Amino acid sequence: EPEVTQTPSHQVTQMGQEVILRCVPISNHLYFYWYRQILGQKVEFLVSFYNNEISEKSEIFDDQFSVERPDGSNFTLKIRSTKLEDSAMYFCASTQIDNEQFFGPGTRLTVL
Amino acid sequence: AQKITQTQPGMFVQEKEAVTLDCTYDTSDQSYGLFWYKQPSSGEMIFLIYQGSYDEQNATEGRYSLNFQKARKSANLVISASQLGDSAMYFCAMREPYSNYQLIWGAGTKLIIKP
Per-residue confidence in pLDDT tens, chain B, 115 aa:
559 999 999 999 999 999 999 999 998 888 889 999 999 998 889 999 999 999 889 999 999 999 999 999 999 999 999 999 999 999 999 987 666 778 899 999 999 999 9
CA of B100 vs chain A CAs: smallest distance (Å): 7
Tell me if chain B has a CB within 8 Å of the CB of A102: yes
Residue B102 to residue A48, Cβ atoms within 8 A: yes
B47: chain A residues, CB-CB within 8 Å = 100-103
Q: How many CA atoms lie within 13 A of B43 on its CB side?
A: 17
Q: Per the CB < 8 Å rule, is A31 touching B101?
A: yes
Q: Is B64 on the interface with A (CB under 8 A)?
A: no
pLDDT computed for residue A99 by the predictor = 62
CB contact under 8 Å between B43 and A89, yes or no, is yes
On whether any CB of chain A is under 8 Å from the CB of B93, the answer is yes
Mean pLDDT of chain A: 92
Kindly state whether B94 is in contact with chain A, defined as any CB-CB distance less than 8 angstroms.
Answer: no
DSSP designation for A100: P
- Chain B environment of A44 (Cβ under 8 Å): 105
Position B102 scores a pLDDT of: 82
Q: Which residues of A touch B52 (CB under 8 A)?
A: 98
Which candidate from A56, A102, A106 shows the least CB-CB separation from B102?
A: A56
The whole-number pLDDT of residue A19 equals 97
Please check whether residue B37 touches A, CB under 8 A: yes
Burial class (CB in 10 A: 0-12, 13-18, 19+), A45: buried
User: Residue A93: enclosing H or E segment and its boundaries?
Assistant: strand A88-95
The verdict on B54 touching A (C-beta cutoff 8 Å) is no
- Find all residues with CB under 8 Å of A44, minimum gap 6, and list them: A35, A36, A37, A38, A58, A60, B105
The residues near A78 (Cβ < 8 Å, ≥ 6 apart) are: A18, A19, A20, A21, A65, A66, A67, A68
Give the per-residue pLDDT at B81: 94
The reported pLDDT for the residue numbered A11 is 96
Q: Does A103 touch chain B (CB under 8 A)?
A: yes
Question: Which segments of chain A have a pLDDT < 50?
Answer: none
* φ and ψ of B94, to 5 deg: -125, 140
Nearest residue of chain A to residue B34 (CA atoms): A100
